[in-house]
């Protein structure tokens, strides 16, 4: 095809970076012309994993070698506090899709509290659009810079925002219990935390102090200018490699019943291809979203009729990161949103 979109991926050898390359390599409108890494210089991705998608790709080069004049887009699959250094170099020279946390938050004090003060250009944060397509499609289309949401926030915001915007659930006393495969912790995660010779392990961590709380709070408070939001967040690491499930306990607003919530999420699903609202007896499990860009949502009864239980599942590496980034690219280029994602 003529007029392919030239793209670069920096951080292409991490879990998210490799998934991103795999998707982009199948994209009929894209040509990958630079793959960056700080650890596997002068190698090929096919030397790291022998998947078909990693063949016939550029040799890996140091991230610093990328020239923004050679591509239309750069994807930054880099850790927080690292990504912003490249944004400082490239801002205004190329369209940026950043998968780190460096440009998701609106307030620098909040950023510093959660990620430290190692940020060279927070003044650009206001020029980044929060890349949650189901809610920000129109402004993503006009954007030059995207901050791709975190995996936990994606799994939580997608089911809650539609209900909160219509005042179907209360803003306080929301309980969020999330579970993630260990790939969300990155390649440096110590597998002895979750696997031994005899058994597998499972544990919660950073209860009510996880960095993603600030991002969740920021985006929920934008619903109807909410200022009395109160929720607890308890994340867990599973011995599974990939997958994420968030179970959310909500109080219904006075005179609202579960039927109204079902109707709202049903309509939300109809308008957004990658949202699947499940109303039958199918269970929500990781296998059903592995290697997909879907978010599946289901509502369950609570013994107290004034409450509901929402379960949301995604693949943390796809809808929670790389797939969502490509979904944003498709919107920015006015392509079919599903391109390379189904």
Other Cβ atoms within 10 Å of 26 Cβ, number: 14
Distances from the Cα of 140 to the Cα of 133, 223, 323, 331, angstroms: 7, 18, 15, 7
Distances from the Cα of 122 to the Cα of 84, 136, 248, 340, angstroms: 8, 21, 32, 32
Q: Determine contact, residues 262/299, Cβ cutoff 8 Å.
A: yes
- The answer for residues whose C-beta is within 8 angstroms of residue 152's C-beta and 6 or more apart is 178, 180, 210, 212, 216, 233, 235, 244, 246, 320
Please state, in angstroms and rounded to a whole number, the distance separating the CA atoms of residues 311 and 246. 6
Q: Determine contact, residues 239/254, Cβ cutoff 8 Å.
A: no
List the catalytic residue out of 151, 250, 295, 328: 151
Beta pairing class for 73-76 and 30-36: unpaired
3-state secondary structure string, 303-340? CCCCEEEEEEEECCCHHHHHHHHHHHHHHHCCCCCCCC
Q: Is 295 a catalytic residue?
A: no
Please state, in angstroms and rounded to a whole number, the distance separating the CA atoms of residues 302 and 309. 6
- The residues annotated as belonging to the active site are 151
């Amino acid at each position: 095809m003529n007029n392919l979109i030239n793209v670069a991926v920096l951080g292409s050898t991490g879990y998210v970076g490799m998934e991103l390359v795999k998707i982009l390599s199948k994209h009929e409108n894209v040509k990958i012309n630079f793959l960056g890494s700080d650890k596997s210089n002068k190698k090929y991705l096919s030397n790291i994993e022998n998947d078909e998608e990693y063949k016939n790709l550029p040799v890996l080069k140091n991230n610093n070698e990328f020239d923004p004049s050679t591509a239309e887009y750069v994807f930054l699959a880099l850790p927080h506090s690292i990504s912003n250094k490249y944004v400082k170099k490239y801002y205004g020279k190329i369209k940026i899709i950043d998968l780190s946390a460096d440009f998701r938050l609106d307030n620098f004090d909040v950023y510093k509290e959660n990620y430290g003060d190692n940020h060279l250009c927070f003044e650009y944060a206001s020029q980044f659009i929060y890349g949650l397509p189901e809610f920000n499609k129109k402004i993503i289309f006009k954007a030059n810079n995207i901050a791709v949401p975190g995996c936990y926030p994606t799994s939580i915001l997608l089911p809650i925002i539609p209900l909160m915007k219509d005042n179907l659930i209360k803003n306080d006393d929301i309980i969020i219990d999330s579970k993630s495969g260990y790939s969300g912790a990155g390649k440096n995660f110590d597998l002895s935390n979750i696997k031994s010779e005899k058994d597998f392990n499972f544990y919660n961590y950073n209860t009510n102090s996880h960095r993603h709380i600030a991002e969740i709070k920021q985006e929920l408070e934008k619903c109807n200018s909410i200022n009395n939001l109160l929720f607890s967040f308890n994340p867990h690491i599973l011995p599974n490699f990939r997958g994420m499930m968030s179970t959310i306990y909500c109080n219904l607003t006075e005179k609202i019943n579960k039927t109204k919530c079902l109707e709202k999420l049903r309509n939300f699903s109809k308008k957004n291809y990658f949202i699947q609202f499940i109303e039958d007896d199918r269970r929500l499990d990781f296998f059903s979203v592995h290697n997909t860009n879907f978010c599946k949502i289901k509502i369950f009864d609570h013994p107290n009729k004034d409450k509901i239980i929402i379960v949301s599942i995604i693949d943390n590496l796809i809808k929670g990161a790389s797939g969502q980034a490509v979904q944003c690219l498709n919107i920015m280029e006015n392509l079919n949103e599903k391109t390379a994602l189904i």
